[in-house]
A and B are shown apart, each in its own frame.
Chain A
Amino acid sequence: MSKFAAIAGIGQTEFSKASGRSELQLAAEASKAALDDAGIDPADVDGMITFTIDNSDEIGLTRCLGVKDLGYTARIPGGGAASVATIHQAAAAINSGACEVVLVWRAMNERSQYRFGQPMAPPSGGVVNIAGNGTGSLLWCMPFGAQTPASWGALATQHYMNTYGVTNGDLGYVSVAQRKHAATNPLAWFYGKPITLEDHQASKWIIEPVLRLLDCCQESDGGVAIVVTSLERAKDLKRKPIRIVSSAQSIPAEVEVISNYYHADLNVMPEAQGVAKRLYQRSGLTPKDMQLAMIYDAFTPQVLYQLEAFGFCDQGEAKDFIKGGNIEVGGGLPVNTNGGLIGEAYIHGMNNITEAVRQLRGTASNQVAKMTNALVSCGMAGAILSNS
Chain B
Amino acid sequence: MSNETTPIRPDPVFTPDAAFFWEGVTRGELLGQRCSDCMKITHPPRPMCPVCHSIKRETVKLSGRGIVTSWVIPRHPAPIGFAEAPIVALIELEEGIRMVSNVIDVAPDAMKNGIAVEVRYAPTKGGKAVPVFAPAKGGARE
- A residues whose Cβ falls under 8 Å from a Cβ of B: 117-130, 136, 138-148, 150-151, 154-159, 162, 204-210, 213, 253, 259, 261-262, 266
B126 at the A interface (CB under 8 A): yes
Q: Are A124 and B113 in contact, CB atoms less than 8 angstroms apart?
A: no
Can you name 19 extra interface pairs (CB under 8 A) apart from A119-B78, A162-B113, A206-B76?
A117-B77, A121-B10, A121-B81, A124-B126, A126-B14, A130-B15, A140-B100, A142-B13, A143-B124, A145-B74, A145-B85, A154-B72, A155-B70, A156-B70, A158-B70, A204-B75, A208-B73, A209-B72, A262-B44
Q: Which residues of B contact A139 (CB under 8 A)?
A: 12-13, 15, 18, 44
Q: Are A122 and B11 in contact, CB atoms less than 8 angstroms apart?
A: yes
Q: Which residues of A contact B59 (CB under 8 A)?
A: none
Size bracket, chain B contacts = 35 or more
Closest chain B CB from A367 CB (angstroms):
37
In the complex, chain B residues 26-84 whose Cβ is within 8 Å of any chain A Cβ: 43-44, 50, 69-82
Q: Which residues of A contact B90 (CB under 8 A)?
A: 155-156, 159, 261, 266
Q: Which residues of A contact B108 (CB under 8 A)?
A: 208
Q: Which residues of B contact A130 (CB under 8 A)?
A: 13, 15
B120 at the A interface (CB under 8 A): no
Q: Are B98 and A262 in contact, CB atoms less than 8 angstroms apart?
A: yes
Name which of A122, A140, A266 has the most chain B CB atoms within 10 A of its CB: A140
A142-B10, A145-B102, A159-B90 given; A121·B80 CB < 8 A? yes
Name which of A146, A210, A213 has the most chain B CB atoms within 10 A of its CB: A146
Q: Which residues of A contact B89 (CB under 8 A)?
A: 155
Question: SS class of chain B's interface: helix, strand, loop or mixed?
Answer: loop
B106 at the A interface (CB under 8 A): no
CA distance A29 to B90 in the complex (A): 44
B126 to chain A: closest residue by CB? A124
Q: Which residues of B contact A120 (CB under 8 A)?
A: 80
Q: Which residues of A contact B81 (CB under 8 A)?
A: 121, 143, 145
B99 at the A interface (CB under 8 A): yes
Which 9 residue pairs across A and B have the least CB separation, nearest first? A145-B79, A159-B70, A145-B86, A158-B70, A205-B75, A208-B73, A151-B74, A127-B14, A146-B88
Q: Are A119 and B44 in contact, CB atoms less than 8 angstroms apart?
A: no
Give which listed residue, A143, A154, A213, A259, contacts B9 with CB less than 8 A.
A143
Q: Are B13 and A207 in contact, CB atoms less than 8 angstroms apart?
A: no
A-contact bits for B94-138, CB 8 A (1 contact / 0 none) = 000011111000001000010000000000101000101000000
Q: Which residues of A contact B77 (CB under 8 A)?
A: 117-119, 148
A127-B15, A159-B113 given; A144·B86 CB < 8 A? yes
A146-B88, A159-B69, A262-B98 given; A253·B50 CB < 8 A? yes
Name which of B19, B89, B90, B98 has the most chain A CB atoms within 10 A of its CB: B90
B16 at the A interface (CB under 8 A): yes
Q: Which residues of B contact A123 (CB under 8 A)?
A: 13
CA distance A150 to B77 in the complex (A): 10
Interface CB pairs A-B, < 8 A, 20: A121-B10, A124-B11, A128-B15, A129-B15, A139-B13, A139-B18, A139-B44, A143-B13, A143-B124, A144-B102, A145-B102, A146-B72, A147-B79, A148-B77, A159-B113, A205-B76, A206-B76, A208-B108, A261-B100, A262-B44
Q: Which residues of B contact A117 (CB under 8 A)?
A: 77
Q: Are A125 and B9 in contact, CB atoms less than 8 angstroms apart?
A: no
Q: Are B88 and A144 in contact, CB atoms less than 8 angstroms apart?
A: yes
B108 to chain A: closest residue by CB? A208
Closest chain B CB from A217 CB (angstroms):
15
Give which listed residue, B69, B82, B86, contacts A266 with CB less than 8 A.
B69
B43 to chain A: closest residue by CB? A262
A139 to chain B: closest residue by CB? B13
